[in-house]
Structure 1
Amino acid sequence: MKVRKVLAIICYTVCLAAYAAAGYVSYISYCGEISYKLGFLIFLPIWIVTYWFSTFFSQLIEKKGNDGSTWLIKKAPRKVLSIISNLLSFALLAFWGYVYVMEYLLSTR
């Protein structure tokens, strides 16, 4: 059980680090240091890594017993961590949606 907690912490830390990397790539794309196309091509695999490690975290904190499922961490911290991850993911995807609309759909007029 302790190993699962340690692995869950590692997975969530990797997830947050990948979000930071994806945010940095988005930022340097926005500042013009790299093109939006290159930024998106770098961002997408990083975002996939965040999705996978978020899934690993969710699976590691759930311990299934014979009497049903139990959780390794309490409900409130679990919800907070999930909300943080989901908000970061949504914000990054919303940014790239905004870039797509502004750069590619409106530039064809």
Structure 2
Amino acid sequence: MAQHSAVLDGVFDALADPTRRAVIRRLGRGRASVGELARDAPMTLPSFMKHVRVLESNGLIRTTKSGRVRTCELNRERLALVDDWLAEQRGIWTERTDRLDRFVTNTQEKP
């Protein structure tokens, strides 16, 4: 359980940065080279590569190198961890709001 929590913490940490979220969003449409991804980033290529390394080290993307071109691909299985966690949280909050709704409804019905 602690290992799963550490992995999830790393994923959320990686997703906390807007540049990295933009990379994930772009890779959701398909593979892209680092050069393509960096084109819209307001930073130097070495700075952008730090973001790529964070995403890769947390398992959100995979990279392959062919010659001088490094291509990135989204790791959808790792994103599924986030989806699972969010579904769990939705369930908890839905139950809480349903209990609150029942409480308010029952309180209002009593004279």
Q: Please, what TM-score do these two structures have when normalized by structure 2? A: 0.42
Q: Please tell me whether Structure 1 or Structure 2 has the larger radius of gyration of its CA atoms.
A: 2
Q: Please, what TM-score do these two structures have when normalized by structure 1? A: 0.42
Structure with higher helix content: 1
Higher RCO structure (Cα 8 Å, ≥6 apart)? 1
